[in-house]
Amino acid sequence: MDAALKLADAGSIDLSDLVDLDRYPIDEPNSDAWRELVERTRADLAEDGCSILPGFLTAAGLERARAEGGVLAPKATFQPRMCNIYNTAHDPSLPDGDPRHIYLERSSGFVTRDMITAETAIQRLYQSPALKQLVAACVDRPEVFEYADPFAGLVFNVLPPGTQQPWHYDTNEFITTIMTQGAEEGGVFEYCPNIRSPGDENLSGVARVLRGEDPQKIKQLDLRAGDLQLFKGRYSLHQVTRVGGSRERHTAVLAYAAQPGVVGPLERTRQLYGRVSEAHILAERRRQQAADGLIR
């Protein structure tokens, strides 16, 4: 089938040139090996909200994704600024000691989905029904959906030397990331498993971590280029430490949602990407109080 036809029919996306299908048979859902993979990943996620599938991309797949990342990275938007972990606007009415008063440097940049073309490895992976089916099973949902957000569903995260992505939560419950190029030094993914939960913001525990008073809450991941990571980022505070050395750190962030139609919050979108779209403005108008009562 020619490439244009394949792209017009998401169901036929063939990932054999990118994914190590012998080790990760995502093209054979419900086979014994697939079920085993899902069970393993679920157990990891239950234990600490994170699971790594090492060597998910083949060597050729990784090389392709890395090279495409090199073309995308110069298109990144950098909006260096100090922001709180919730990406909310300053609110002087909050009490002293509230973690929303703690501002951290965000200097990493993003290439948003609207700039990532359909034939790239990461866009093919993001849209692939096989990957969605795997992710859904691992996070125990009947189905997961691509974001309706024109920017945030698939984001290429760019950290040149000297930059960092500070502590934050993700808007959605889980993300999938693939590092396409690691840093020479630093650029470590750190997280605090399940530091908040629906109905329990744990502001005091979070403030302790942000003030550096609770280092034993922080775990570090040994991520390698070509691994696939599943992560429950809505409840686990996380950051990427400052990148050292001379190489940029590149990660594709594939965000799926438990329901269709998800569009990120307006203020957060403005802070992260430096612009908003009509879809964000309309979604904000319709947005109601989040069902789980968390800040963002």
Which residues of this chain interact with ligand AKG, rule CB under 6 A?
157, 170, 177, 189, 238, 240, 251, 253
* 173 lies in the binding site for Fe ion (CB under 5 A): no
Structure tokens at 1: 């089938």
Q: Which is nearer to ligand AKG, 28 or 114 (CB)?
A: 114
Instruction: Give residues 256-295 in contact with Fe ion (rule: CB under 5 A).
Output: none
201, 202, 203, 206: CA torsion to nearest 10: -110
Phi, psi of 141 (to 5 degrees): -125, 150
How far is Cα 174 from Cα 231, in angstroms, rounded to an integer?
5
Smallest gap from Cβ 16 to ligand AKG, in A, equals 26
> Comparing C-alpha atoms, which of 79, 129, 108, 61 is closest to residue 248?
108
Smallest gap from Cβ 171 to Fe ion, in A, equals 9
CB under 5 to 8 A by kind: which of Fe ion, ligand AKG, none does 264 bind? Answer: none
How far is Cα 181 from Cα 133, in angstroms, rounded to an integer?
26
> Comparing C-alpha atoms, which of 31, 286, 22 is closest to residue 133?
31
Contact 165, 105 (CB under 8 A): no
Residue that is written with structure tokens 């990120």 in the block: 264
CB under 5 to 8 A by kind: which of Fe ion, ligand AKG, none does 120 bind? Answer: none
Q: Judging by beta carbons within 10 Å of its beta carbon (0-12, 13-18, 19+), is residue 257 exposed, middle or buried? A: buried
Structure tokens at 73: 């990275």
Structure tokens at 44: 């990891």
CB under 5 to 8 A by kind: which of ligand AKG, Fe ion, none does 182 bind? Answer: none
How far is Cα 101 from Cα 243, in angstroms, rounded to an integer?
25
State which of residues 20, 68, 146, 170 lies at the interface with Fe ion (CB under 5 A): 170
CB under 5 to 8 A by kind: which of ligand AKG, Fe ion, none does 51 bind? Answer: none
How far is Cα 244 from Cα 197, in angstroms, rounded to an integer?
33
Q: Which is nearer to Fe ion, 146 or 170 (CB)?
A: 170
How far is Cα 270 from Cα 85, in angstroms, rounded to an integer?
15
Smallest gap from Cβ 240 to Fe ion, in A, equals 8
Residue nearest to ligand AKG (CB): 251
Q: Which is nearer to ligand AKG, 25 or 131 (CB)?
A: 131
- SS3 at position 270: helix
Smallest gap from Cβ 274 to Fe ion, in A, equals 18
Smallest gap from Cβ 283 to ligand AKG, in A, equals 19
Smallest gap from Cβ 159 to Fe ion, in A, equals 12
CB under 5 to 8 A by kind: which of Fe ion, ligand AKG, none does 272 bind? Answer: none
Smallest gap from Cβ 40 to ligand AKG, in A, equals 21
How far is Cα 155 from Cα 149, in angstroms, rounded to an integer?
11
Residue count at the site for Fe ion (CB under 5 A)? Answer: 2
Q: Which is nearer to Fe ion, 133 or 181 (CB)?
A: 181
CB under 5 to 8 A by kind: which of ligand AKG, Fe ion, none does 57 bind? Answer: none
Contact 65, 52 (CB under 8 A): no
Q: Which is nearer to Fe ion, 149 or 170 (CB)?
A: 170
Binding string to Fe ion for residues 221 to 240, with x set by CB under 5 A, is what? ------------x-------
Which residues make up the interface to Fe ion (CB under 5 A)? 170, 233
